[in-house]
Amino acid sequence: MGIQTTNPYTNKVIQSFDEMTDVVVEKAVATSHDTYQTWKHTDFFVRAQVLHKMAGLLRERIDSLAKMITLEMGKLLSQAEGEIKLSAEIFDYYAKNSAAFLADKKLDPWHGQAFIRYNPIGVLLGVQPWNFPFYQVARFAAPNIMAGNTILVKHASIVPQCGIAIAELFKDAGAPEGLYTNLLISGKRASALVADKRIKGVSLTGSEEAGASLAAQAGKYLKKSVLELGGSDAFIVLEDADMDKTVEWAVVGRINNNGECCIASKRFIVVESVADEFLAKFKAALSKLVIGDPMEHGTQLGPLSTEAAAVHIAEQVQRAVKGGAKIILGGKRVDREGAFMQPTILVNMQPDNPVYYEEFFGPVAAFFRVKDEQAAIDLANDSPFGLGGSVFTQDIERGKMVADQIDTGMVYINHPTWTQADLPFGGTKGSGYGRELSALGIEEFVNKKLIRISELSDPF
């Protein structure tokens, strides 16, 4: 397929791009390395000026940037606009708070004085996904630029215009050349770049396969890495949940971003006493979704990102059925042009089903009824993933106790897994490691240097 914009609403190729040559990539890495030598000495005010300007430009250009997202990967236009707003918030957040986050941390040793100083480490490589083409970059670039690092990004090959636009925004925001660089290269070439001694850390959001490959390279060359991989978030409904509000959030949790979201609600686990009510209302709500052009504000479910993605999830559903699952809603491609998939509910999924442990990256929900709270917890944890999850109950203390037993990086009570600038984001198990956003996100790619002050007579 190469690097190209294909509108998933029509499956028509809009524009193709040539990969950068090795000479161009080498110059980009060298420039980023050279810029780091000066950028690491800039103060927080100088760095913050660039990020605040980025936030302002995102807001000024929201209409054109949102349409670009929708054109390239099919996100509903209203959600694309929301992504641009969130990205601007992230840039502003780190511009405002990084000096406090990275202030020297005083320690209290037995003798003398000591403190932790946070130093940047150098050029960082980010491999970013297509499903949130601006937000994903913002949450990687903003904290690390404020920390004093410089950034190289290999963006997903299906959103090249978004990747180019972000680099142009940085330039317009007054960023020095080499502070942020977009690389139009393949994933294989990006992985090979990890060996470059000038690159000091790597971050990837994507599939488990891509993450394992990049992490192997990072380990081989002793580079710090952060991975945010797939997810199969559980949406637990207890018997005392506000059912109507819970169903509303269930729809949002499953079809946000057309279902192509790592933290989307994918496994709906409902206790027996309210299972029939939830399922009936959930099915009715999904069946009423307006499917159509993602550029139209009345559309509620757009196409998947690519035709290949639509083919894959339709085949995945069929494999689930062959393995014993039953379709009670949807299950097929939408009979129209474009990369569309019907909203789908699968029931009777058992552990021996070949897709039981797979992630459904699209508008497909797996429904499970369980006898009680403990069974819900056990089923939620029966997954190779550990990104997010949610618990619905009107007893908040009970919700906290359940959340404490879920093996994921994030658990939300009475809301699907979500994201915002001031909350940490990341998972465990097969969903990766490390954290992005909040104060934790700026601490991943810094040297937490101990400085110890002693008197000459100090015995230690």
Rg of the chain, C-alpha, whole Å: 23
- Residue 223, C-beta contacts closer than 8 angstroms, at least 6 positions apart: 194, 199, 200, 201, 202, 217
φ, ψ for residue 162, nearest 5 deg: -65, -45
List the helix and strand counts (H, then E) for the chain. Answer: 14, 20
Among residues 214, 167, 164, the alpha carbon closest in space to that of 189 is found at 214
pLDDT of residue 260: 98
Q: Which residue has the tokens 């909040």?
A: 438
Q: Which residues are catalytic?
A: 228, 262
Contact 395, 412 (CB under 8 A): no
Contact 396, 297 (CB under 8 A): no
From CA 151, how far away is CA 202, in angstroms rounded? 10
Q: Which residue has the tokens 């690097």?
A: 3
DSSP 257: G
Q: What are the CA-CA distances from residue 265 to residues 38, 124, 235, 250 (Å)? A: 44, 31, 6, 7
DSSP 341: B
DSSP 316: H
pLDDT of residue 455: 75
CA angle 369, 375, 379 (to 5 degrees): 75
Among residues 243, 266, 271, the alpha carbon closest in space to that of 370 is found at 271
User: Taking the chain, what is the end-to-end CA distance rounded to the nearest angstrom?
Assistant: 62
Give how far the C-alpha of residue 32 lies from the chain's centroid of Cα atoms, to the nearest Å: 25
Give the H or E element holding residue 234: strand 233-237
E strands, 40-162, are 105-107, 113-120, 123-127, 150-154
DSSP 292: S
Going residue by residue through the chain, which has 460 residues, state the pLDDT in tens, using 9 for 90 and above.
Answer: 589 999 999 999 999 999 999 999 999 999 999 999 999 999 999 999 999 999 999 999 999 999 999 999 999 999 999 999 999 999 999 999 999 999 999 999 988 899 999 999 999 999 999 999 999 999 999 999 999 999 999 999 999 999 999 999 999 999 999 999 999 999 999 999 999 999 999 999 999 999 999 999 999 999 999 999 999 999 999 999 999 999 999 999 999 999 999 999 999 999 999 999 999 999 999 999 999 999 999 999 999 999 999 999 999 999 999 999 999 999 999 999 999 999 999 999 999 999 999 999 999 999 999 999 999 999 999 999 999 999 999 999 999 999 999 999 999 999 999 999 999 999 999 999 999 999 999 999 999 999 999 876 655 5
Contact 341, 364 (CB under 8 A): yes
pLDDT of residue 37: 98
From CA 101, how far away is CA 226, in angstroms rounded? 19
Q: Which residue has the tokens 């390279």?
A: 217
Domains and CATH numbers, the chain: 3-229+431-451 (3.40.605.10), 233-413 (3.40.309.10)
Contact 387, 263 (CB under 8 A): yes
pLDDT of residue 111: 85
Decide: pTM greater than 0.95: yes
